[in-house]
Amino acid sequence: MKNSKHFRSSMILGFGFYLLVSFCFTGQVLALSDADKAAIGTEVTTIYRAARGVVAKNQGLINDASKGDKGFSADVVISKTKENYKKATGNDFKMADAGSLKGQTQKALLDSISSVISDAQALINEKGKGLKGFLPAIFAKQMGDGFNKNMKGKAYIKLTAPKNYVRNRANRPDKWEANVIETMFKDAGYEKNKVFTENAKHKGKDAFRLILPEYYKKACLNCHGEPKGAKDITGGKKEGGKLGELGGAISFVIYN
């Protein structure tokens, strides 16, 4: 009697221990190290930049007034995004396990890219209209908004810029981003293209944060370059930016 009782309680204990261990393996968000989170951030920002690059490379096509159907469909953009991903990383794009946070973020971003491009078909295919305002940064904003919605408070992405260069108020850096941009990224000694990561609050919640600096290339200066204040082709005011200067940053968050 005493023995069987003992046996029962050790069974219960053992089962509890089994549950705890299996939870640690399946409740992956809890088990992720900072290095794992940084790797997810690198993956997501790489796909994000790859997709934005597709829109940048096809600005001429998108703004071609003589053409109706441009063939710039969601499927085409996804496959070109994967090509850019391969160019950037040297590896084929591969979906991670659907239950993992990495797999969830990949799916959330690809789904967002597809729906933004699908929703923009009428605009993109409008014959007789040249400049359509479907710019890389505008696409990036929509792609980020879709990702954030799909991730339901687990992760977040945003394109931002130095405070004095922000055109769209929705892209303004928060305190943490502005601080990294001004005190680290703008420091002459800061290694180019190096991401900065830290455990810090985001929107009041404890989070792992990653931010990646981006610099003006020649093509950017048509709109963001000199002379400062002059109108660019979109009707906006040029920032007076210089070649190689810090022009933006991609900010990524995983909530704890």
Q: Does 49 bind ligand HEC (CB under 6 A)?
A: no
Q: How many residues sit in the footprint of ligand HEC (CB under 6 A)?
A: 25
Nearest to 157 by CA among 75, 212, 201: 212
Q: Does 247 bind ligand HEC (CB under 6 A)?
A: yes
Shortest Å distance, C-beta 141 to ligand HEC: 5
Radius of gyration of the chain (CA): 23
Which of helix, strand or coil describes residue 5?
helix
Q: Are 157 and 44 in contact (CB under 8 A)?
A: yes
Pick out residues in 162-181 that bind ligand HEC (CB under 6 A). Answer: 165-168, 171
The amino acid at residue 42 is T
Please select the residue that binds ligand HEC; options are 29, 38, 96, 138, rule is CB under 6 A.
138
Shortest Å distance, C-beta 217 to ligand HEC: 5
- Backbone φ and ψ for 77, nearest 5 degrees, come out as -65, -40
Burial of 247 (0-12, 13-18, 19+ CB in 10 A): buried
Please select the residue that binds ligand HEC; options are 231, 234, 243, 256, rule is CB under 6 A.
234
Residues contributing to the site for ligand HEC (CB under 6 A): 135, 137-138, 141, 159, 161, 165-168, 171, 214, 216-217, 219-220, 222-224, 232-234, 236, 247-248
